Structure formats: C-alpha cells, structure tokens
Amino acid sequence: TDLINESGKEWWRGFYTNATTFDLSAALADTTSYRYKLLLRDIDAIAAQLRKFQHADVPVLWRPLHEAAGGWFWWGAKGAESYQKLWRLLFDRLMNMHEMHNLIWVCTSNDFSWHPGNNVVDVIGLDIYTDPSSAMNSEWEAAQMVFDGAKMVALSESGTMPDVDKIRSFGVRWSWFSIWSGH
C-alpha cells in the first residue's frame, strides 16, 4: 500500500523505501488500522504458501525481512524497534496462529543491534559484498562473539565465492553460503 507509482518508483518496486510512503511504525502502533490489518493479511497469505512445504515435511530456511538496517526496504525504514516488532509479529502469527513448525528462522542483519532476539531467531545471516580476496573472517568472528557461538552463522548473500583455503586458515565455518550476482 501507499505506493508512489511514478517513473523509477513503479508500483512493483514498492518494497523499496523510495517507492512507498508506507509507515511501519504507524501501522504497528494502531492494531485496529487498515495498514495493520494489511500486514496480518499478507502474513496469512504467506502462511498459506509455507503450509504446502509443511504438509510435504519440507523444512524451510525462512529469511524474511532481510537487510532491514540498510533502510532501503520499507521494513527497515522506521528503525530497529519497528523492525523488531514486525519480526516478532511475523514469528508469533506464523508459529502460534498458523502452527508453522517447519521454519528455520534466519535473521539477516550485519548490524546486531537490530537482532529481534535469540528466542525468535535460529540462524544469523550475514550479507557481505567485499573484495573477492577477503576471507570475511572479521564479520564471522564478530557474529561468533556477539552470539557466543550459540547460533549458526550463514553467509546469506555474497557477491563472491568464499575462498575455501582462506576461510579454513582463519577458522571460518559458514553454515552455508549463497552467491548473489548476475553472473
């Protein structure tokens, strides 16, 4: 909702902050509002799709609301507190109302102050776009320190393939990695 829909800000780009005026903090503040109900409607629509995997006994690496701290998506545009509330709403509704128990919750934010809480996150995801020669060890070590090794850490997006020899030499143990590029 609240899409700008003009050149460069077309309706289909509405997940980007610059293509919508949607105010997440206002929507979350009024649970009787039209916009709050839209959030619930969308969560319920997502649940219907995820249920197909649950019925087939397929676990899902569920990575919603990624890169919120960057501010370029509407779910991060109003700050960490609104994002954390939305994450908890999503978690509560999918887990408790829809009884989705096949989801492995992956929270992707390189700014750990945005973390919504260990009780609603299974895996820490890091999106790292860096020099191909980087071992990405400092980011991995930071996550290990913050979460005291209690959470698996994944390289959820990277523009380059990790150098196996290099990450081994630094003791980096990504749970998995995903390459995000046009190549």
100 within 8 A of 126, measured Cβ to Cβ: no
Residues in the chain: 183
Tell me which of 10, 99, 141, 157 is the catalytic residue: 157
37 within 8 A of 80, measured Cβ to Cβ: no
Active site includes 6? no
Tell me which of 67, 81, 139, 141 is the catalytic residue: 67
What whole-number distance in Å separates Cα of residue 39 and Cα of residue 28?
9
Q: According to the 3-state scheme, what is the secondary structure of the chain?
A: CCECCECCECHHHCCEHHHECCCHHHHHHCCCCHHHHHHHHHHHHHHHHHHHHHHCCCCEEECCCCCHHHCCECCCCCCHHHHHHHHHHHHHHHHHHCCCCCEEEEEECCCHHHCCCHHHCCEEEEEECCCCCCCCHHHHHHHHHHCCCCCEEEEEEECCCCCHHHHHHHCCCCCCEEECCCC
Active site includes 10? no
Give catalytic residue positions. Answer: 67, 157
